[in-house]
Amino acid sequence: MNVIVEREKSLSALESRIEALRERDAGSDEVKQLESKVEQLRRDMFGNLTPWERVNMARHPKRPLSSDYLAALDAFDELHGDRHFRDDPALVGGFAKLRGRRVVVLAQMKGRDTKENIRNNFGMVSPEGYRKAKRLMELASRFRLPIVTFVDTSGADPGLSSEERAQGEAIAACLVTLAKVEVPVVASIIGEGGSGGALAIGLADHVIMAENAVYSVASPEGCAAILWGDAARAPEAAERLKLTAADLEGFGIVDEIVAEPIGGAHRDGARFVEKMLDAVDGALRLLEPLAPDALREARYQKYRRIGAWHDDAATRAVSGA
């Protein structure tokens, strides 16, 4: 059960009552009162979300998905396959135009319904998906096209056959390629950023995160199961993991947060998608003038700094944030 969906249900009775009243008499005091009450309720319910609530927001069934972002691009031409084994529909990539600019896009594809989810393996990418991504990153670098990625996955596919085809190596190869490419890379964490499977296309010059997206080293459920042998304590784990956009900006892991409307991005999906694309556009505009060497050096230093450790030799604390 999604806690946000549950909460929305309790609002929806009130909302339909207002709708009915509005049809009869839009300007009445009663309508106005009710409207401001709903507004207040919405603020109370969604104004200051806990990490666990954000996890649920990130997994909300109506949340904009990669497919919505791809559809909002000026143009998109999908390129398929790893050239060796299979085309993985969980990770889609291709040529695109974004605000008039030629780019290569990579996106993790959760499905909108069960059928899509089965087809796309619920957005969990297999080795051949990461190998396709690597191929397209190299293509982008070859033709000097910026790389734009949309991250939304609970994690890399943990299945038997993915292990047999070297899931670890596939993710590592993506990371190496992103470290190597001589073009700007902008990553957007739009929903769930699940561990290494997300990072594989998330190593970037500029990382943007939707306000209610989450990005975590482990799923809250998995973390709770490991720590307390009880997946039901996920809300508590979510709290500890520091997986919100604000936390990650504080750590220097996320460079920019795109605010969501109260109640979540899905309350005004189309506009939110445009806002995110604007943010990507803005980031690219700043990165494009950089020479390849400067770009790569900046990328190196960005990740070089991340972490928090003590330097006993220097007898000072070093921190990346």
Partner 1 sequence: MPAPEWLRIRRDKDVPAEDASLWVKCPKCSEMLYRKDLGDNAYVCMRCGHHFRMHAYDRINLLVDSDFVEIGDHITPGDPLGWVDRRPYPQKLEADREKSKLSEAIVTGFATLEGFPVALGVMDFNFRGGTMGTVVGERVTNLLEEALRRRLPCIIFTASGGARMEEGMLALMQMAKTTQAVERFMSDGNLFVTVLTDPTTGGVSASFAFESDIVIAEARASIGFAGRRVIEQTIRQKLPDNFQTAEFLLEKGHVDMVVDRRQIRDTLVRVLDYAVDRKRLAPALKAVPEFAGA
Range 80-109, binding a copy of itself (CB under 8 A): 83-85
Compare residues 91 and 254 and give the one whose CB is closer to a copy of itself: 91
Binding mask 105-134 for a copy of itself (x = CB under 8 A): ----------------------x---x---
Q: Show the tokens assigned to 205.
A: 């010059």
Q: Which of 11, 45, 72, 79 is the binder for partner 1 (CB under 8 A)?
A: 79
Residue whose structure tokens are 């709708």: 19
Compare residues 22 and 86 and give the one whose CB is closer to partner 1: 86
What is the nearest approach in angstroms of a copy of itself to the Cβ of residue 132? 13
Tell me which DSSP letter residue 83 carries.
S
Assign 157 to helix, strand or coil. coil
Contact between 78 and partner 1 by CB under 8 A: the answer reads yes
Compare residues 62 and 86 and give the one whose CB is closer to partner 1: 86
Q: Which does residue 37 bind out of a copy of itself, partner 1, none, counting CB within 5 to 8 angstroms by kind?
A: none
Q: Which of 22, 242, 267, 275 is the binder for partner 1 (CB under 8 A)?
A: 242
Q: List binders of a copy of itself among 128-187 (CB under 8 A).
A: 131, 165-166, 169-170
CA distance 154 to 49: 20
Interior angle at CA 289, CA 285 and CA 294, nearest 5: 120
Contact between 32 and a copy of itself by CB under 8 A: the answer reads no
Q: φ, ψ for residue 107 (rounded to 5)?
A: -145, 135
CA distance 273 to 283: 15
Q: Which of 21, 249, 251, 268 is the binder for partner 1 (CB under 8 A)?
A: 251
Q: Show the tokens assigned to 145.
A: 């096209």
CA nearest to 112, candidates 79, 78, 66: 66
CA nearest to 7, candidates 53, 39, 65, 63: 53
Compare residues 39 and 169 and give the one whose CB is closer to a copy of itself: 169
Q: Show the tokens assigned to 39.
A: 């507004």
Q: Are 254 and 210 in contact (CB under 8 A)?
A: no
Contact between 145 and partner 1 by CB under 8 A: the answer reads yes
Q: Which does residue 78 bind out of a copy of itself, partner 1, none, counting CB within 5 to 8 angstroms by kind?
A: partner 1
CA distance 63 to 112: 9
Q: Which of 80, 119, 271, 285 is the binder for partner 1 (CB under 8 A)?
A: 80
Q: Are 64 and 265 in contact (CB under 8 A)?
A: yes
Q: Which amino acid is at 166?
A: A
What is the nearest approach in angstroms of a copy of itself to the Cβ of residue 183? 22
Contact between 54 and partner 1 by CB under 8 A: the answer reads no
Q: Which residues bind a copy of itself (CB under 8 A)?
A: 83-85, 127, 131, 165-166, 169-170
